[in-house]
Amino acid sequence: MAVSSGALHMTCNTSSKFINAEKVELDGRRIHNLSFPRGCGVNEFIDNSFGALTYVTLTEVYVAVVRAGRGCILIKRDLADAFRMVPVALAHRWLLGFISDRACYTERCLPFGLCIAPFLFNLFAEGLQWILESALPPTDEWELLHYLDDFITLCTGRTLLEALPVFDERYRAITAALSVPPNNDKDEHGTCTTVLGIEIDSLAMTARLPADKLARAQRDVDTALSRKSISLKEAQILAGFLNFCARVVTLGSARLSSLFRFMREHYSPRDALATRSRLTTELRQDLS
């Protein structure tokens, strides 16, 4: 729990109008399911249009690399605990309550699980991007993009040894002044950098899967092929990850069509969770 960091507030008033939402810990990150209970969760009363958000796409990153030119420098920086640095208004905190171990808590910061949290955090990230752009030298050597808490900076006309100090001096000063914690463990820079899960090489002007994701894809496919049948959940997990990989694999999307058709034709909504279906010959051929 994040009580000591100030992200949560414990209250003794168990008669408050709390939404006793489900929560789950995922890799140390607490997910507050504000769609629970169905029909009267907080998310149910927020219009979808209020959370609509258009993210930077990989295609836009590719276009920026082409615009910057072969050998351009890519600098990726990440923020720590992205949503948790944005406070929630005191008047709204009662809507973000939950009970854990017979104690009542309210969120003080944007929780993971609130449908408009990405939109609200993105407003903050847009402001941070504008500040960074204003602080960099006013030339066409620099271009900044961001995907929520991931900031991608491209620099052309400078070597890494020239570009990195210029950017990092300003980035560190600005994040320190705003008390924005950087996630230094995810820092990457150079002509070959992983952006949005894809490795981009500006010298070769190619995009490919990082070694760890390629190994996982091969492992997951081998596991599926080694079984006579798979469940719907197993098929969905495999399809989701391979669909991500298909963005940089030749004919990847075409070869996935049989997997999506398999899920549509072999599982009924009534017993989808309990049913296991044998892999078809077509699916085995496409996965091989």
CATH at residue 179? 3.30.70.270
- Write down which residue in 187, 208, 229 finishes a domain: 208
* Cis upstream peptide for 87 (omega within 30°): no
Domain co-membership, 146 together with 203? yes
H/E stretch holding 30 reads: strand 29-33
8 A C-beta contact, residue 114 and residue 28: no
Which is nearest to 239 in space by CA: 252, 248, 229, 250?
A: 252
Which is nearest to 209 in space by CA: 242, 231, 239, 187?
A: 242
Domain co-membership, 216 together with 118? no
Domain residue limits at 283: 211-287
Cα dihedral 136/137/140/143 (nearest 10):
-10
Domain co-membership, 79 together with 204? yes
Domain-located, residue 219: yes
Read off the amino acid at residue 221. V
Domain co-membership, 229 together with 147? no
Domain co-membership, 70 together with 202? yes
Domain co-membership, 250 together with 195? no
The total number of structural domains in the chain stands at 2
From the centroid of its chain, how far is CA 193? 17
In a structure prediction context, what are the per-residue pLDDT tens digits for the chain, which is 288 residues long? 555 555 666 565 443 334 444 444 445 567 888 888 888 889 999 998 998 999 999 999 999 999 999 999 999 999 998 888 899 999 998 888 888 778 888 889 999 889 999 999 999 999 999 999 999 998 889 999 999 999 999 999 999 999 999 999 999 999 999 999 999 999 999 999 999 999 999 999 999 999 999 999 999 999 999 998 898 889 999 999 999 999 998 888 888 999 999 888 887 766 656 678 899 999 999 998
Which is nearest to 144 in space by CA: 157, 160, 156, 155?
A: 155
Domain co-membership, 265 together with 179? no
8 A C-beta contact, residue 18 and residue 24: no
Which is nearest to 88 in space by CA: 57, 110, 72, 67?
A: 110
Domain-located, residue 14: no
Domain co-membership, 229 together with 200? no
